[in-house]
Amino acid sequence: MAVYALGDIEPRIDPTAYVHPDAVVIGDVTIGPEASVWPCAVLRGDDGAIEVGARTSIQDGTVVHTTPEVPTIVGADCVIGHLVHLEACTIEDGALVGNGSIVLHRAVVRSGAVVGSGAVVPNGVEVPAGAMALGIPARIKEGAADPAMITHARDSYVRRAVRYKTELRRL
């Protein structure tokens, strides 16, 4: 895996986490237990901190960045889909951010909320717990998230990471 220190700042990756060999992790990044980071994802903690909680998946092609003023925090049990961009925002425990979505500075996606595929959550917007954010810019639909879908997606990536840690081999 491509893990880089930036000066004296080294990433902290729990030994039970899975980081794919083609992912890039730089600088002030913490990856929690049983979390997974998938191919072509980039977590670049150069200007500030990035935190990824336990059992959270950061899927293929996702970019996670930060600013000197605002860290990017992704809680435990989250699903961050393919080709997502997270920048200086907070994703609370048990949330799902769908494929191709963008969540920007100081936005907060509360526990159990869903950002639908392709949505853009602008600066400073809060997606309430259990709500769904859809569209560009995101419109909020209260109570529309499906907790069972989030749990199913999380569990499938926790299982997949275990398999990849033991079975993936380059040909």
- Strands (E) across 7-138 are located at 12-13, 18-19, 24-31, 36-37, 42-52, 57-58, 63-65, 72-74, 79-80, 85-87, 90-91, 96-97, 102-103, 108-109, 114-115, 120-121, 126-127, 132-134
pLDDT tens digit sequence for 89-146:
999 999 999 999 999 999 999 999 999 999 999 999 999 999 999 999 999 999 999 9
Say what the pTM is.
0.97
